[in-house]
Structure 1
């Protein structure tokens, strides 16, 4: 039921009000007596939130409704209200027809593997406590959640010097980024700042292709561009000359600033060698996790982990919150750029390597992965099977991993030369194609 980023799918078919009601009942029955709830700007969010709140209150849980808010705003509100958990109705960077449900702990960490498994079991088996007429949960509204998040960001970051920034909110709930950057002394322009869950300005995911308007505007008028997704748990950036910064480069920049000697960072298995190489001179190391910010956050709970994130734009500073906080990332990057004088200069200081990515379509993902794993274990002494199969070589790596949401097997390869990257990618791609051809069709 849960993917790598909560429950997510098309509204009305995969994510329904019946499901939201069941999740609310399950959360209440699992012992969460005080829950903060919020949603992103999608029109389907209102009925889903109403259904989820009904399930919570029916089984006795008290609810605090923060309304329309960024995911990190909701996550930060849990501890502030001394609540047991939080729920956000959001499909994050997914298209407008989708919606979802994501569950949070007071630390800002998403529900971990065991917590998700318990909620899934209760929903599927209908294992919920009895409803009582005299134990209906209360509901209260919190209209100060965004202001509290803004105050926390202002306390966390200082920006010295003049800096002009364009913030592309993506018609989502991340407008507080522009407000805080203005308060910190930046000259701020906005794009797609009106919350609208149909995402009329651009698709919700902040990719280079989707952010062309931002790159053009920044190149003409600003020192820095910031882009969020629909619920502002992601943040990507644009240099002053209009280049969309690759996620692995942002990863290396953030991690390099966060670590000290002996520290670790938590990164998914598909993270570039650029991160390892940027941290090695500082005496810090990379701890790989399964792909998904929930797994990064789980690893980031360890005391020696100073930073975590995903190249897709989810960034976690454990000392601040275990929730990916796009506005916090935007403010930290603005501070870094103001100090350095140029994001272009920072980007150029990170050595990057050729990386190859592709996907193979198949309805037999499990059979294909079994065949690929068998072959790779025969050929290599060590393989990493935490999330698909990753093989590390002296000068590169490749990863074969099934998509969690689509009938695809994804292939990634990276090395320190084009020729070697091509070789590793072709090796992995050939294995997948051979396995796809041989995979027996399922009845």
Structure 2
């Protein structure tokens, strides 16, 4: 079964350009509705959330039309974080959850992410079967069986209460000053409300979405403004989310950024001390820094690596019975609390450790010295396959030989954008730059 539509996290692309067109969203909605609709009796539900992109209105309407045409009842949540869809799908006894978002991508992109009735993202196999239905078309429901759509007003509040319940009982954030950067995205109301209700003095950034400014010079991929705000206000911590709030990075009181690897190191060590880290194992992707692996090994803990994408992290966690995982980019998955990455929950875990220990963020956000790592992206034209050219293959082999076991090289095609990602790690920074630049040059020629 083909997977031309689906990447590492659902369907994604530039709005009004294949595959992210209204016509395709209609077909995808009908195919997903047919795939998930039970054949015997009962009510068939799907919950749909979205972030703050202007194109979200178009895709919400098109998906709703496709889904209701196959007899699914649609529950529209409006702007909510991606993890809220993962939570509310099983809570509201839905057959399917859909999040309309391109996560950290710019406003002109959008995407469609799917969650099964258990609240976890769909498997590759399920997505492939839906794609077959998209290509073959589906028979609509009889007129008397067409579904209905309705707005759900309290979805955001249900999610907020769930997030607050993950904060240690009896603990408060009174006296703490927190900068929260919501990337003008899905958590622009949720995240400040949760922090304020837990007692913090909240300084919001990126909370004025206009449909076109999501992730624009703000959020987890552009933390400069948030870092400057932390320093200017003398804040204790900065929390930066991405457009759909499933990623987080933190900023210490000195304005320094800590990525997902540092957060996972802190949490894994703490959970292990408390006997909460299942199997003594943290799950992370091949992108996580070698320093994280060394830090865990020094504490008798294990790092299980997966392919890139939080969905693959979660799948490995479920197979192995592990409860903590994530990505260097800031997806932090805690299956004791949530079915997917949750930036706000992870931020609260960091704040809880600050309160518990009385230590400043700068002490907690630097748990290991990263091995020098260099990542460069090369954009390519759709339809080309630059990684398959002999010159690129030769350059990769030459780079690995040059490393001589002193580091590692990782070259991969992005599953969400037309990019080739060239990454290497090595203590010798001159060699590191030479290796990456050499591969990048060949990929650019091929692209």
Give the TM interval when normalised to the shorter protein: 0.7 to 0.9
2:210 corresponds in structure 1 to: 196
Q: 1:152 to 1:201 in 2, by over 3 A?
A: closer
> Is 1:103 aligned to 2:107, yes or no?
no
Residue of structure 1 aligned with 2:323, choices 306, 310, 313? 306
Task: Report which stretch shifted further, 425-434 or 304-313.
Answer: 425-434
2:415 corresponds in structure 1 to: 404
1:355 corresponds in structure 2 to: 373
Q: CA deviation at 1:425?
A: 5.5
1:386 corresponds in structure 2 to: none
TM-score (norm 2): 0.86
Q: CA deviation at 1:165?
A: 0.5
> Is 1:164 aligned to 2:177, yes or no?
yes
Q: Distance in 2 between matches of 1:43 and 1:377?
A: 41
> Where in structure 2 are the equivalents of 1:13-412 lying within 5 Å?
13-14=17-18, 15-32=20-37, 33-126=44-137, 128-158=138-168, 159-160=171-172, 162-174=175-187, 175-199=189-213, 202-203=216-217, 205-207=219-221, 210-221=222-233, 222-259=235-272, 260=277, 262-340=279-357, 341-360=359-378, 366=385, 368-369=387-388, 371=390, 394-406=405-417, 408-412=419-423
SS of residue matched to 2:288: coil
Q: Distance in 2 between matches of 1:375 and 1:256?
A: 41
Task: Report which stretch shifted further, 359-368 or 61-70.
Answer: 359-368
Asked if structure 1 preserves the Cα contact closer than 8 Å seen for 2:181 and 2:204, the reply is: yes
Asked if structure 2 preserves the Cα contact closer than 8 Å seen for 1:412 and 1:425, the reply is: no
Q: Distance in 2 between matches of 1:59 and 1:257?
A: 48
Task: Report which stretch shifted further, 347-356 or 359-368.
Answer: 359-368
Q: Distance in 1 between matches of 2:242 and 2:278?
A: 33
Asked if structure 2 preserves the Cα contact closer than 8 Å seen for 1:248 and 1:271, the reply is: yes
Q: 1:431 to 1:277 in 2, by over 3 A?
A: same
Corresponding pairs, count = 425
Q: CA deviation at 1:21?
A: 0.7
Q: Distance in 2 between matches of 1:181 and 1:395?
A: 44
Q: 1:359 to 1:369 in 2, by over 3 A?
A: farther
SS of residue matched to 2:145: coil
1:2 corresponds in structure 2 to: 6
Q: Distance in 2 between matches of 1:89 and 1:74?
A: 10
Q: 1:3 to 1:160 in 2, by over 3 A?
A: same
TM-score (norm 1): 0.87
Q: Distance in 2 between matches of 1:178 and 1:261?
A: 31
Structure 2 stretches lacking a partner, 5+ long: 38-43
Q: Distance in 2 between matches of 1:120 and 1:55?
A: 14
SS of residue matched to 2:98: strand
Q: Distance in 2 between matches of 1:180 and 1:434?
A: 48
Q: Distance in 2 between matches of 1:51 and 1:176?
A: 26
Asked if structure 2 preserves the Cα contact closer than 8 Å seen for 1:365 and 1:408, the reply is: no
Q: CA deviation at 1:370?
A: 6.1
Q: Distance in 1 between matches of 2:375 and 2:155?
A: 40
Asked if structure 2 preserves the Cα contact closer than 8 Å seen for 1:371 and 1:435, the reply is: no
Task: Report which stretch shifted further, 31-40 or 53-62.
Answer: 31-40
2:41 corresponds in structure 1 to: none
Q: Distance in 2 between matches of 1:339 and 1:119?
A: 47
Q: Distance in 2 between matches of 1:36 and 1:201?
A: 24
2:40 corresponds in structure 1 to: none
Q: CA deviation at 1:230?
A: 1.7
Q: Distance in 2 between matches of 1:330 and 1:90?
A: 21
Q: Distance in 2 between matches of 1:58 and 1:391?
A: 58
